[in-house]
């Protein structure tokens, strides 16, 4: 409650103010009357000139405002949150003097040229039909329940499938996917998603679609994504955070650890380097180079790196060595980055360390991880748990023979590279590819389990087996990927035949009537109740793309001009 003394004080103060104002006005009048006529004239002249100056400048600025072009009016302020830049218009013009170090033009595709390719296109359209009817605009299809699953909330299957659709020359499907990207793909999603998965699938898909179609909408979206992702690299160690919020432009480690996985931090390079080549914005390439240098300088006995790295200090954690989950694409991208950077054999070249690290790793794999089974002598790649060898091999490892074959292709161009080592490399690739195929052929469905364990004891009656929890098949692409590289590089048609048998197994055991394909729970079970109710986006993006390319009967797709990222998206090789 306000007391009466306060009220009186306020009233008294107000009266004082009134008295003071009146007294001031009277004093000014008396002072003016006391001035001489000359003084009064001088004061009036000064006041007049001051007023004239102010009025003329107001008019001048008013005219300036009128002269501003109308298209500059009411323009919103550009957001510069987290140093985000708008894409410069000159970077998205097809014909421009400041183009990247490769020629960008629309690539014409003629579609399937033989019956096997037509079967693959039919398979794609069957999967696309299920997705379009039951999950359009969502991330992935659940073909049994005819519903969808959410992960990124970014229409993942659409973006991931863009280049597959284009390569197959499915023009109507490409147009509807392209129109969805233009009108519906919005990165203002307030959730944390994995930076690695976003990069290889979303950014990779957009870049590949742009390179094939030359449609600038894909580059605009890719550049928007790149800008939003840069805060993930803002760490003391230069090792990026694993989780990214695209709307808030913020990033963090998972709540339970500060560790990131080796594959996740090392498998961003092809995509971010390509974004720099396309836009001349060096920020993307710069963050990748910092990661490369950190990983290169860390101690890696035999060239093999542990699968966890701390975001805080940039040091490895633990001693688990694997070319499967969390480790695989580190090794894949060492070679592919070196190719992207010019494939220079000069040891003084600033990017030669990428090839050197890859070669050291391949030697380390041969020395520390390669074993052969009993009784048939299949070569496989195991794991190291500290210093203990484990005869476990993920299906993911089946990318490796294709990667080794690609390395062999480039190293064979160097006349100084030892011929015996070249033969050893291609022999290693051939034997590992055979093992990966046998991981399909030996199970009742003709499909591979997610993980296999290999027997090396002399009294073993079978070469490998799968544990109950590892018998599922997720429609993965890695074996088909290696079959593709092996056919291209060795010209041996048997790899196409291997692929056809696997394709027929997918058709028989994973195809869902009405639309879609489903991963299965047990590759040993040929029954009908074996479905996991999930069509991973990579089945359309990778597996069917590699089948399609594997079955081409000519070199209509020149893979020597392209790098294929770990999600099977196409990145052109500069100056190739």
Binding residue numbers for Ca(2+): 566
Q: Which candidate in 224, 328, 332, 567 is catalytic? A: 328
Q: Which candidate in 160, 478, 536, 542 is catalytic? A: 478
Residues 6+ apart with CB under 8 A from 541: 157, 160, 161, 163, 164, 201, 205, 567, 568, 569
Answer yes or no: are the C-beta atoms of 218 and 180 closer than 8 Å.
no
Q: Which candidate in 197, 349, 470, 492 is catalytic? A: 197
CA–CA separation, 244 and 253 (whole Å): 9
Residue 481 is a catalytic residue: no
Residue 478 is a catalytic residue: yes
Structure tokens of 350?
Answer: 């600033």
Binding site, by residue number, is 566
Structure tokens of 63?
Answer: 């005219």
Answer yes or no: are the C-beta atoms of 520 and 530 closer than 8 Å.
yes
- 259-261 and 308-310: which strand pairing? antiparallel
Q: Give per-residue burial for 464-485: e unless 16+ CB within 10 Å, then b.
A: bbbeeebbbbbbbbbbbbbbbb
CA–CA separation, 362 and 353 (whole Å): 14
Give CA separation, 541 vs 169, 351, 469, in Å. 14, 30, 26
Structure tokens of 242?
Answer: 């694993």
The CB-side HSE value for 540 (13 A sphere, CA atoms) comes to: 35
DSSP labels, 137-165: TSSEEETTTTEEE-SSSS-HHHHHHHHHH
**β-bridge partners, 379:** 372
Q: Which candidate in 271, 450, 542, 552 is catalytic? A: 450
Q: What is the dihedral of CA 450, 454, 460, 462, to 10 degrees?
A: 30
Residue 73 is a catalytic residue: no
Answer yes or no: are the C-beta atoms of 334 and 566 closer than 8 Å.
no
CA–CA separation, 291 and 287 (whole Å): 7
Q: Which residues are catalytic?
A: 197, 328, 450, 478
């Amino acid at each position: 409650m306000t007391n009466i003394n306060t009220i009186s004080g306020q009233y008294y103060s107000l009266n004082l103010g009134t008295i003071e104002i009146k007294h001031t006005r009277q004093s000014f009048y008396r002072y003016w009357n006391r001035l001489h006529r000359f003084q009064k004239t001088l004061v009036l002249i000064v006041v007049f000139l001051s007023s004239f100056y102010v009025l003329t400048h107001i008019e001048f600025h008013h005219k300036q405002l009128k002269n501003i072009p109308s298209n500059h009016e009411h323009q919103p302020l550009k957001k510069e949150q987290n140093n985000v830049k708008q894409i410069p218009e000159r970077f998205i013009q097809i014909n421009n003097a400041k183009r990247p170090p490769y020629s960008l033009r629309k690539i014409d595709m003629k579609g399937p040229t033989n019956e096997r390719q037509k079967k693959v296109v039919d398979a794609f359209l069957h999967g696309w039909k299920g997705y379009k009817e039951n999950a359009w605009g969502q991330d992935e299809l659940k073909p049994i329940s005819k519903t969808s699953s959410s992960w990124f909330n970014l229409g993942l299957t659409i973006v991931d499938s863009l280049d597959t659709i284009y390569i197959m020359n499915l023009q109507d499907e490409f147009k509807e996917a392209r129109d969805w990207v233009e009108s519906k793909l919005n990165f203002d999603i307030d959730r944390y998603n994995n930076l690695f998965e976003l990069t290889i699938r979303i950014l990779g898909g957009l870049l590949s679609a742009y390179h094939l179609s030359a449609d600038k909408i894909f580059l605009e979206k890719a550049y928007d994504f790149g800008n939003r992702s840069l805060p993930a690299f803002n760490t003391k160690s230069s090792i990026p955070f694993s989780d990214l919020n695209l709307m808030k432009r913020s990033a963090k480690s998972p709540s339970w650890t500060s560790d990131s996985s080796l594959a996740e931090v090392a498998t961003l390079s092809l995509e971010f380097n390509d974004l720099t080549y396309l836009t001349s914005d060096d920020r993307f390439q710069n963050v990748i180079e910092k990661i490369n240098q950190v990983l290169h300088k860390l101690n890696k006995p035999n060239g093999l790196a542990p699968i966890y790295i701390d975001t805080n200090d940039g040091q490895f954690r633990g001693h688990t060595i694997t070319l499967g989950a969390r480790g695989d694409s580190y090794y894949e991208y060492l070679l592919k980055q070196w190719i992207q950077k010019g494939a220079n054999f000069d040891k003084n070249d600033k990017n030669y360390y990428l090839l050197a690290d890859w070669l050291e790793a391949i030697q380390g794999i041969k020395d520390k991880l390669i074993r052969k089974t009993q009784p048939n002598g299949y070569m496989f790649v195991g794991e190291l748990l500290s210093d203990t060898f484990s005869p476990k091999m993920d299906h993911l490892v089946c990318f490796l023979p294709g990667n080794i074959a690609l390395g062999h292709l480039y190293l064979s161009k160097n006349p100084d590279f030892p011929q015996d080592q070249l033969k050893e490399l291609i022999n290693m690739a051939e034997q590992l590819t055979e093992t990966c195929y046998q991981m399909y052929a030996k199970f009742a469905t003709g499909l591979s389990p997610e993980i296999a364990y290999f027997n090396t004891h002399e009294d073993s009656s079978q070469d490998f087996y799968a544990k109950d929890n590892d018998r599922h098949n997720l429609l993965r692409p890695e074996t088909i990927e290696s079959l593709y590289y092996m056919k291209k590089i060795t010209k041996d048609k048997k790899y196409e035949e291997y692929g056809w048998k696997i394709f027929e197994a997918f058709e028989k055991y994973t195809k869902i009537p009405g639309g879609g394909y489903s991963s299965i729970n047990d590759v040993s079970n040929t029954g009908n109740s074996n479905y996991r109710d999930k069509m991973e986006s990579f089945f359309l993006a990778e597996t069917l793309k590699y089948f399609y390319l594997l079955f081409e009967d000519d070199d209509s797709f020149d893979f020597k001009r392209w790098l294929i990222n770990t999600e099977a998206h196409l990145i052109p090789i500069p100056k190739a």
